[in-house]
Amino acid sequence: MIKRCTLALLFVLLPVASFAEATRRYIVVTRQPAEEALQSLRNDDFVPGLRARIRSFTSIEGFAADLTDDEVETLNRSTAVQWVEPVIERHLLATDSVTPGQQTTPFGVNMVNAPAVWPVTEGKSLDPNTPIRVAVIDTGIRYTEPDLKAAYKGGHNFIDGTDNPYDDHGHGTHVSGTIAAADDGSGVVGIAPQVELYGLKVLDLCGSGSNENIIAAVDWLIAKKSAIGGNWIANLSLGSDSPSSAEQVAFQRGADAGILFFAAAGNGYDDTNSAFFQIDGLSYPAGYPSVVSVGAIDSTSAVASFSQRGAGLKVVAPGVDVLSTFVSEQAATSDGRDLSLIQMDATNAKGNQLCLTRPTITNTPFVFCGIGNPSDFPSSVA
């Protein structure tokens, strides 16, 4: 009865005609620092929507906000605003599966001649005042993995706003292992196992994120470099085919601050032009002038058939069948079976990617139910 009364009161206070107009996420580039521009716009009641879910940036003069179509038009007419652009999706550029075992030096590590310099350094700066720091801008880092524990120094999660960039997907951990897996006699060894490793989680557990998160990560990098110094490199094995003017400005600001950005050229090329769209050119952010674009080659030095290419491609590197750290979890069913809980990708009938994620671990026993046919369910399952 209490619930019904509450609902009735809400319907009286919120008539049907008051449903809010749909909003979309935008980046607003302003002519002055974000906080000053926002204060001015709010004081003038210029856009009612500029009250909540605002993310200000420092690598660009601007902010992100949820806006209606009318609010976008209003902002575009403001003298305080340079331009308004929709937030663009960014997603991971997939790596191949790996197999655990004794310590292995992946072919790519040898191919770039990393072992030749290990007697001098394994990524630790020769100048203790300027350590080498590598930020992996990705799905985060599984920093509890033995191969990565020593190298990991911190980071930030731009999905939930915490300083815990724990990898709930696996891609960022795989990338991190290629960079910095420990030379400890087990697993794999990375290119530079003594670098200082930072995780910036901009992609969720399905491998999706946005240029808004990436701009915020560039903000974080610039501020962190200013605060603790060091030589900074950032890796982005992610992207999509849509450029963003705001994102391009952010990367230029980061480069001007002395940060080296490396981004995957993209995996959308198909020279048969049959089953997939052929993309002549680079994904973004790899396509920006201030970012070093990296194409993929295999163990024979041949350019990978899927690797995007174009006049802006700056370098190629091993990127086919790469052995590295990976995420694995185990759970036992009530009948004693061990199940590997993995994240899978699939496509629906229209070719859109679906994300099937592992279940949240609880104290309730797991029960093996085959592939879900009615006959697969044991009698204990209600």
Q: Are residues 240 and 292 in the same domain?
A: yes
pLDDT of residue 115: 85
Task: Say how far apart CA 330 and CA 378 lie, in whole Å.
Answer: 21
CB atoms within 10 A of CB 93: 27
302 inside domain: yes
Q: Does the pLDDT value for residue 349 go beyond 80? A: no
Task: Say how far apart CA 219 and CA 211 lie, in whole Å.
Answer: 12
Q: What is the mean pLDDT of residues 56-76?
A: 94
Q: Are residues 60 and 135 in the same domain?
A: no
Question: pLDDT-derived band of residue 332, with 50, 70 and 90 as boundaries?
Answer: low
| CB distance 369 to 381 below 8 Å | yes
44 inside domain: yes
pLDDT of residue 94: 59
pLDDT digits (tens, 9 = 90+) for 25-36: 999 999 999 999
Q: Are residues 96 and 82 in the same domain?
A: no
Higher pLDDT, 92 or 243: 243
| CB distance 316 to 306 below 8 Å | no
Query: What's the CATH number where 201 sits?
Result: 3.40.50.200
Tokens of 251: 């990367």
Last residue of a domain, one of 286, 318, 350: 318
Mean pLDDT of the chain: 81
| CB distance 352 to 134 below 8 Å | no
Q: Are residues 125 and 222 in the same domain?
A: yes
Q: Are residues 219 and 338 in the same domain?
A: no
Q: Are residues 260 and 344 in the same domain?
A: no
pLDDT of residue 197: 98
Q: Are residues 51 and 68 in the same domain?
A: yes
Q: Are residues 119 and 236 in the same domain?
A: yes
Work out the percent of the chain whose per-residue pLDDT is above 70: 77
Q: What is the dihedral of CA 191, 194, 195, 196, to 10 degrees?
A: 140
Q: Are residues 129 and 158 in the same domain?
A: yes
Q: Does the pLDDT value for residue 279 go beyond 60? A: no
pLDDT of residue 342: 38
Q: How many separate domains does the chain show?
A: 3
Task: Say how far apart CA 263 and CA 245 lie, in whole Å.
Answer: 17
Last residue of a domain, one of 87, 107, 122: 87
249 inside domain: yes
Domain ranges, residue 365: 330-376
Q: Are residues 68 and 159 in the same domain?
A: no
Q: What is the mean pLDDT of residues 333-339?
A: 56
16 inside domain: no
Work out the percent of the chain whose per-residue pLDDT is above 90: 47
Q: Are residues 212 and 280 in the same domain?
A: yes
Task: Say how far apart CA 207 and CA 168 lie, in whole Å.
Answer: 9
Task: Say how far apart CA 161 and CA 212 lie, in whole Å.
Answer: 13
367 inside domain: yes
Tokens of 329: 């979890």
| CB distance 235 to 179 below 8 Å | yes
Query: What's the CATH number where 62 sits?
Result: 3.30.70.80
9 inside domain: no
237 inside domain: yes
For residue 228, give the nearest of 121, 290, 162, 135 by alpha carbon. Answer: 135
Q: Are residues 304 and 337 in the same domain?
A: no
pTM above 0.85, yes or no: no
Helix axes 245-256, 211-228, angle to 10 degrees: 10
pLDDT of residue 255: 98
Last residue of a domain, one of 55, 87, 119: 87
136 inside domain: yes
